[in-house]
Chains A and B, each alone.
Chain A
Amino acid sequence: MTPRRRRMVAMTGGLVCLVAATALVMTAFEQNMLYFYTPTQIAAGEAPEGRRLRVGGLVEQGSVRRTPGSLEVRFDVTDLDRTITVAYAGVLPDLFREGQGVVAHGWVSADGMFEADEVLARHDENYMPPEVAEMLEERGHPPDASLR
């Protein structure tokens, strides 16, 4: 084996081991690498109890209820299967509206409600002028109806 060949084998082998190790670590920590849980996962008890977590989904149409004279707001987050009610007091992002994807950070209270101290809006990977979005809406394909 020439020295050059030895160096190449050593480097390739090293990289293969490194990739394998990284893949193993990522598989082992998969649960902890979830950025948010869906309402279905929380209902099924897959989310860790008594720990801060994030819930992600769409804001249910017609579910936003504001308390007059305060920043308190309640809304339902759905993954089109199960739904969880989120209670939040604070400023909502500009993109927040019914039908929009959101991620709320907080914890599940004893009565099954989600107490959030941060609500972030998700936007999708679609970019189009407003006229195109209107056209899609008219044809029954609203552009932001799905949360990936």
Chain B
Amino acid sequence: MRLPNWLHKLASPPHFYRIAGRIEPWMLWSGLAAIAVGAFGGLLLAPPDYQQGDAYRIIYFHVPAAYLAMQLYALMAIGSAIGLVWRMKLAYAISAAAAPVGLAFTGLALATGMLWGKPMWGAYWSWGDARLTSVLVMFFLYLGYMLLHASLEERSTADRAAGILAVVGVVNLPIIKFSVEWWSSLHQGPTISRLAAPAITWDMLWPLLVMIVGAVLFSLAVTLTRARAEVLLRERGARWVRDVVAVGA
């Protein structure tokens, strides 16, 4: 199987550097605007919950963070898979750029979940809960990827070794997603992503959706910025990089 031509064109480092530089500010500012609107709606406009009062408002940070943590892992793994099979260097660069962003969102999801768990469940953490444990495993997969990548001197070896780890870890994604349905757990079931109608009223739901869109745009913007820097570093011997640096663009 060959990759489509347009993808090859996009994957040329100078082309990617230019395109990404043009898209990135739009994503960053629209993402930040959406996060501001979503936070305002979620923290001030949405009504309190019938059971949890105001404490439920942490979902406006917890859910987007957890969603992005998984999406970025998928991005990192797909990038690594493309790199492993098609030897596309840009794909490896994007994986390496996405890892710390995903790690940060996983940490945020864990931290907000613990802050929520203490008042609602009565404990910050409960060992044995499949959802909590599988997300913690993802945290260590991100960390393992970054450490492995950093520990190997030769960049192509590092890309391949860490890439294999990223692809292997994909097994964890469906486990995270379905953990609350396959096993009895302390963590509640899905509210939005289920076949029936969302189990949340509209005035509480819209800020959450806006927050998720904002988080997606923001995290992609950060990943693109990091990927551009990664490309510059990796191609530092190339002529186009010298041109870019000379112009200062």
Residues of A bordering B, CB below 8 Å: 4-5, 7-8, 11, 15, 18-19, 22, 26, 33-36, 38, 54, 56, 91-96, 103, 118-134, 143-144, 148
Residues of B bordering A, CB below 8 Å: 1, 47-52, 56, 59, 81, 84-87, 119-123, 126, 128-130, 167-168, 170-171, 175, 183-186, 188-191, 199-201, 203-204
How many A-B residue pairs have C-beta atoms within 8 angstroms? Tell me.
121
Partner of A54, one of B81, B128, B168, B200: B128
Are A35 and B122 also in contact (CB < 8 A) when A19-B171, A127-B56, A144-B51 are? no
Are A36 and B201 also in contact (CB < 8 A) when A94-B119, A95-B51 are? no
Q: Which of B50, B129, B204 has the most CB of A within 10 A?
A: B50
Tell me what chain A mostly uses at the interface: helix, strand, loop, or mixed. mixed
Are B199 and A127 in contact, CB atoms less than 8 angstroms apart? yes
Are B184 and A133 in contact, CB atoms less than 8 angstroms apart? no
B232 to chain A, nearest CB (A): 28
Are A129 and B50 also in contact (CB < 8 A) when A7-B85, A118-B123 are? yes
In order of increasing CB-CB distance, the 6 nearest A-B pairs are A93-B122, A133-B50, A129-B47, A127-B200, A125-B188, A126-B199
Are A122 and B50 in contact, CB atoms less than 8 angstroms apart? no
Are B130 and A94 in contact, CB atoms less than 8 angstroms apart? no
